[in-house]
Amino acid sequence: MIEQVAEPLQQHGFAKVVLELEVNNHPGVMSHICNLFARRAFNVEGILCMPMSDTSRSRIWLLVFEDQRLEQMVLQVEKLVDVRSVRRHGAEHEVFERLERFFH
Amino acid sequence: MMQMTGAELIVRLLERQGIRTIAGIPGGAILPLYDALSGSDIIRHVLARHEQGAGFMAQGMARVSGRPEVCFASSGPGATNLVTAIADARLDSIPMVAITGQVPLSMIGTDAFQEVDIYGMTVPITKHNFLVRSAAELLEVIPQAFRIAMSGRPGPVLVDVPKDVQNQLVSFEAYPEPAVPDPVPALDMVAIESAAKMIDEAERPVLYLGGGVVHSGASRLAVTLAEQAGLPTTMTLMALGTMPVDHPLSIGMLGMHAARYTNFVLEESDLLICVGARFDDRAIGKAAQFCPNAQIIHIDIDPAELHKIKAAHVAINGDVATALEALLPRVKHNLRKRWLSHVDSLKSRFPMAMPGRDDPRTHYGLVHAVAAVLDDEAVIATDVGQHQMWVAQAYPFRRPRQWLTSGGLGTMGFGVPAAIGAALSEPDRTVVCFTGDGSFKMNIQELATLAEEGLNVKIVLMNNNSLGLVYQQQNLFYGKRVFASKYRGEPDFLKIAEGFGIAAVDLDSSPNPRATLAQALQSRGPCLIHASISREEFVYPMVPPGAANTEMIGG
Ligand SMILES: Cc1ncc(C[n+]2csc(CCOP(=O)(O)OP(=O)(O)O)c2C)c(N)n1
Ligand SMILES: [Mg+2]
């Protein structure tokens, strides 16, 4: 019998993308976002989160691979009640680049 | 200025939201809320025997009414027992608000007695969830919970309320307004125009209706569209009843246990109009081979469903009823004689085979015999297994919300408590629950609730003393290596019913099963109707898991 098994998840080799999320700032937001990516087996390479100057909001930066499921992931992220907006940037966005030196 | 405890505030807000019945089980961390509920003249509490039962009762109420309904559970094991019913509501898009007690705020994170992180645990299975940190927050959280549960694509919301928050005093000027659903998204009229044009130009179109048609109250519009444009119409498991079975355009349920002709019609279609459905694998089989020659129009309230499994040529994000209303005046009247007569010829060449349909001692015959006694006002619930599929194939559904089944999660144990919920919500209807011996035992304790409430629920137990669907799969796909699917012992279900104080009849020993059945169904109050079914009866036709829909076996 051939069960319906998903294709093996191939992410390496894809270009990277930076997602910028503006979210409501409360203790559960990070778990909603991380959980969504984990549950849909979509790797998050990097994540940053800080409150904005208006402290009722936070900004989250995510570094992810641009595979064919990214579109679907973004739609799912947009459905989260606490996510106010999602913007997409190329991997060259400086937010993660500037942090490189803390990791290498 | 008003002042009350968080617990009292929750009860007042639920009353104002229109909640009249709540199913649940108390425990230490939710006792303040129960104490406040005891003072309500408006809300009735139904004491379930297991929190999963309470969750499915709330679902049963919500499935027949379309409104969000509520269940209560205490912290720790009470809350974890709700998890399956919440996940089930998520997958079938059922509006529900689950309220759980939690250990006091100051003790969260200390591994306190009956502390579990139910907030964390339910993140992936709720539409949204809340951990309430002050009584004042309830003024916002409770209406939000209802708004989220019923807006857009409905779903379950969990509100976890620490015990000290329930006891905390809160002062406020005025109650918040009861929640109403968000306005539906504006339609892309260009897309509507192109959809209308595609329907007019198609030669072999098929209308594919899903549960969203039920949620949006759009069955009548969908039927009108089908009639106007001459569209053969298939329904998912969740959409059964949206077009009456005997409508000339109905081609029945699609997918794994569809009639052969239904899947063949889909195979030949050149345009698939998917309305409030989500291309689930049980419905479409191998995605790449589903409707290989069809263009796709997809209408759904959830933008993430569009293009998720199948790329649509025209994707319309919107409320299904609103979209159909916009579409109708733009679609030409079309008799579509050629295509419809071809559909009819496929239907007569590859019909749904129902051996034994006139014999009430067979599975199909029993389903037909039950239907023959009832009218369309009855509600039909099922559990999960072969019996569920036989009912889906054979029962003549003719109205939306007539049919309650666990589709997405496929939860054994759903049937009895969901039927109780349906009867709590609509006590004048006859509610029938078709169950299997395996599923029945998963929430059999709710017979006590049923007896106590004296509801008009008839449980038709199709007993093959096995996990029939598993037995079938092992026989068909695992080299007949039957393992862990046949029971060695067999409980006496008639005595069990009697022990719970519920009337029971046995069709096996009845000289006239039709008469026994009719009497049991027509007298008021709960009743167990027991019928043995051969273990060797399988659900056919069947698309093997992972195969294309046209590769059916049997039937
Ligand atoms: C809670 C749960 N556990 C396991 C399963 C897997 N499963 C699907 S059908 C089935 C057998 C159901 O047996 P029964 O209720 O007697 O129905 P039958 O198939 O015999 O009609 C099982 C074990 C499930 N769907 N739900
Ligand atoms: Mg069984």
Per-residue model confidence as pLDDT tens for chain B (555 residues): 999 999 999 999 999 999 999 999 999 999 999 999 999 999 999 999 999 999 999 999 999 999 999 999 999 999 999 999 999 999 999 999 999 999 999 999 999 999 999 999 999 999 999 999 999 999 999 999 999 999 999 999 999 999 999 999 999 999 999 999 999 999 999 999 999 999 999 999 999 999 999 999 999 999 999 999 999 999 999 999 999 999 999 999 999 999 999 999 999 999 999 999 999 999 999 999 999 999 999 999 999 999 999 999 999 999 999 999 999 999 999 999 999 999 999 999 999 999 999 999 999 999 999 999 999 999 999 999 999 999 999 999 999 999 999 999 999 999 999 999 999 999 999 999 999 999 999 999 999 999 999 999 999 999 999 999 999 999 999 999 999 999 999 999 999 999 999 999 999 999 999 999 999 999 999 999 999 999 999 999 999 999 999 999 998
Q: What is the pLDDT of residues A53-95, one digit of tens each?
A: 999 999 999 999 998 899 999 999 999 999 999 999 998 899 9
Residues of B in contact with A79 (CB under 8 A): 302-304
- Residue in A39, A75, A81 nearest the CB of B124: A39
Instruction: Name which of B61, B75, B238 is nearest B158 in CA terms.
Output: B75
The residue whose two tokens read 């030949």 is B268
Q: Which domains does chain B have, with CATH numbers?
A: 2-171 (3.40.50.970), 189-349 (3.40.50.1220), 363-532 (3.40.50.970)
Distance from CA of A83 to the nearest CA of B (A): 12
Residue B273: phi and psi, rounded to 5, are: -105, 100
Q: Name the residue with the closest Cα to ligand 1, atom 9.
A: B385
Instruction: Name which of B30, B477, B549, B551 is nearest B287 in CA terms.
Output: B549
Residue A8 has pLDDT above 80, yes or no: no
Mutate to test the pocket of ligand 1, among B416, B439, B470, B530 (most ligand atoms within 8 A of CB): B439
- The B residues from 117 to 156 touching A (CB cutoff 8 Å) are 119-120, 123-124, 127-131, 148
Q: Name the residue with the closest Cα to ligand 1, atom 20.
A: B468
Element (H, E) at B533: none
Which of A79, A80, A83 should one mutate to test binding to chain B, selecting the residue with the greatest count of B CBs within 10 A?
A79
Nearest CA in chain A to B308: A72
- Contacts of residue A94, defined as CB under 8 A and 6 or more positions apart, other chains included, come to none
Contact B200/A at CB under 8 A: no
Q: B71, B94 in Cβ contact below 8 A?
A: no
Q: In the prediction, which pLDDT does A92 show?
A: 86
In this structure, what is the dihedral angle of CA atoms B195, B201, B202, B203, given to the nearest 10 degrees?
Answer: 160
Q: In the prediction, which pLDDT does B94 show?
A: 98
Edge to edge, the sheet with strand B44-47 lists B44-47, B21-24, B69-73, B96-102, B156-162, B128-131
User: CB–CB of B546 and A35 under 8 A?
Assistant: no
Residues lining ligand 1, Cβ inside 6 A: B 383-387, 410-413, 436-439, 462, 464, 466-470
Q: Name the residue with the closest Cα to ligand 1, atom 23.
A: B467
- Please give the average per-residue pLDDT across A37-63, as a whole number: 94
d(CA B537, CA B527): 25
Residues from A in contact with B at Cβ < 8 Å: 1-5, 27-28, 31-32, 35-36, 39, 71-72, 75-76, 78-81
Residue A36 has pLDDT above 60, yes or no: yes
- Residue in A1, A75, A80 nearest the CB of B546: A1
- CA B363 to ligand 2 center in whole angstroms: 12
ipTM reported for the complex, 2 dp = 0.90
Q: Count contacts between A and B (CB, < 8 Å).
A: 45
d(CA B139, CA B97): 15
Length of chain B: 555
- Residue in B120, B130, B546 nearest the CB of A2: B546
Q: B270, B205 in Cβ contact below 8 A?
A: yes
Instruction: Name which of B242, B417, B416, B432 is nearest B320 in CA terms.
Output: B242
Residues of A in contact with B304 (CB under 8 A): 72, 75-76, 78-79
Burial profile B498-521: b = 16 or more Cβ within 10 angstroms, e = fewer: eebebbbbbbeebeebeebbbebb
Burial profile B9-31: b = 16 or more Cβ within 10 angstroms, e = fewer: bbbbbbbbbebebbbbbbbebbb
A11 token code pair = 């992410």
Beta-bridge partner residues of B233:
B207, B250
Q: A37, A46 in Cβ contact below 8 A?
A: no
Nearest CA in chain A to B287: A4
- Residue in A4, A36, A81 nearest the CB of B281: A4
d(CA B378, CA B407): 20
d(CA B19, CA B96): 11
- CA B469 to ligand 2 center in whole angstroms: 8
d(CA B536, CA B27): 45
In this structure, what is the dihedral angle of CA atoms B539, B543, B544, B546, given to the nearest 10 degrees?
Answer: -140
CATH 3.40.50.720 fits A16-102, yes or no: no
Residue A1 has pLDDT above 50, yes or no: no
Which of A25, A33, A81, A86 should one mutate to test binding to chain B, selecting the residue with the greatest count of B CBs within 10 A?
A81
- CA B468 to ligand 2 center in whole angstroms: 5
- CA B416 to ligand 1 center in whole angstroms: 14
Residue A2 has pLDDT above 50, yes or no: no
As to burial, measured by CB atoms within 10 angstroms (0-12 exposed, 13-18 middle, 19+ buried), residue B268 is: middle
Cis peptide before B541 (omega within 30 of 0): yes
The residue whose two tokens read 């997809």 is B298
Contact B525/A at CB under 8 A: no
Element (H, E) at A51: strand A44-51
Mutate to test the pocket of ligand 1, among B467, B534, B535 (most ligand atoms within 8 A of CB): B467
Q: In the prediction, which pLDDT does A5 show?
A: 52
d(CA A55, CA B199): 51
Per-position DSSP letters for B95-109, written without gaps between them:
-EEEEEEE--GGGTT
d(CA B23, CA B46): 5
> How many helices (H) does chain A have, and how many strands (E)?
3, 4
- The B residues from 364 to 383 touching A (CB cutoff 8 Å) are none
Edge to edge, the sheet with strand B403-404 lists B403-404, B379-382, B431-436, B457-463, B527-532, B503-506
Q: B56, B445 in Cβ contact below 8 A?
A: no
> How many helices (H) does chain B have, and how many strands (E)?
22, 20
Instruction: Name which of B203, B215, B139, B126 is nearest B171 in CA terms.
Output: B139
d(CA B383, CA B439): 6
- CA B409 to ligand 1 center in whole angstroms: 12
Alpha helices in B362-512 (DSSP H): 363-373, 386-394, 415-425, 437-440, 446-453, 468-477, 493-500
Q: In the prediction, which pLDDT does B136 show?
A: 98
pTM score, whole prediction:
0.97
